[in-house]
Structure 1
Amino acid sequence: MRHIYRFSLAIVFSVAGFLHFKREESFEKVVPDYLPFKRFIVHASGVVEIVFGLLLFFKRPGKTLKNLINAFLLAVFPANIYMARKKLPLGTIELPKRLLYLRLPLQFVLMGMVKRI
């Protein structure tokens, strides 16, 4: 099961990171208004996700990498809350507000998966 979690997370992080560059404007909208340098935040978080994805593809993470991934997931959680509160689309997909809120626990599911790989 660990391999399934690891490779699933590798794909999720790699694709999400790539999309930060492919759909930059969509990701900028999700960065809360109170934060400056939205484009930099989108690019930096995209690079971090791509690096995490590649690392997970090639080796089983140690405790330090797991902690870094989970810290990152916590750091971007406010953007998910902001997205739900403002009813922002998920890329080009308009989701009902309740689904945007139901998406929030997914961050903790990912953190649980990280813990188990």
Structure 2
Amino acid sequence: MTAPLRRDAKIVVAGFLASGTVHLVKPEVFEPLMPDWVPMHREVIIYSGIAELACAAGMLFPPTRKLAGLASAALLAGVFPGNVKMAVDASRSKNVPFKAAAYGRLPLQLPMIRAALRAGRS
């Protein structure tokens, strides 16, 4: 019998559902996060939103949870450079809430990756 999805993995699923939806509906929100070396910013944003939604859906269903957990961890690692860029950009801003959000996201990546990997093992 497959174990139910852990609470931390449910948080990753909810985050992916929300973020993936925003990627598709308002991709311009993510354009400032894109490092210059990434080609085709808009397309990468759209495809990463689709990937987030697919990973979220995959983690919800036991037959696809292992693959989705691994894919989710890889996706979180892959978007980390964008989060670093956001923090660097925020450091030049006078917007304190933006700085707090940008820097607050960085240490959250590791627990989210761990939650995705745990989901894949359940």
Once the two structures are TM-superposed, the CA of residue 71 in structure 1 deviates from its matched residue by: 1.3
* CA distance 1:109–1:34, change in 2 (3 Å): same
Query: Among residues 20, 24, 27, which one is paired with 2:23 in the alignment?
Result: 20
For 2:102 and 2:18, how far apart are their aligned partners in 1? 20
1:52 partnered with 2:38 = no
Aligned to 1:113: 115
Once the two structures are TM-superposed, the CA of residue 55 in structure 1 deviates from its matched residue by: 1.2
DSSP 3-state at the match of 2:6: helix
Query: Among residues 36, 54, 59, which one is paired with 1:33 in the alignment?
Result: 36
For 1:82 and 1:37, how far apart are their aligned partners in 2? 17
DSSP 3-state at the match of 1:105: helix
RMSD: 2.3
TM-score by length of structure 1 reads 0.81
For 1:96 and 1:12, how far apart are their aligned partners in 2? 19
Once the two structures are TM-superposed, the CA of residue 75 in structure 1 deviates from its matched residue by: 0.7
For 2:61 and 2:71, how far apart are their aligned partners in 1? 17
Identity, % of aligned positions: 27
Instruction: Give 1:114's aligned amino acid.
Output: A
Moved >3 Å (runs of 4+)? none
Unpaired segments of 5 or more residues in structure 2? none
Instruction: Give 2:97's aligned amino acid.
Output: L
Instruction: Give 2:15's aligned amino acid.
Output: V
For 1:51 and 1:108, how far apart are their aligned partners in 2? 20
Instruction: Give 1:100's aligned amino acid.
Output: A
Aligned to 2:12: 9
Larger radius of gyration: 2
TM-score by length of structure 2 reads 0.78
Q: Which structure has greater helix proportion?
A: 2
Unpaired segments of 5 or more residues in structure 1? none
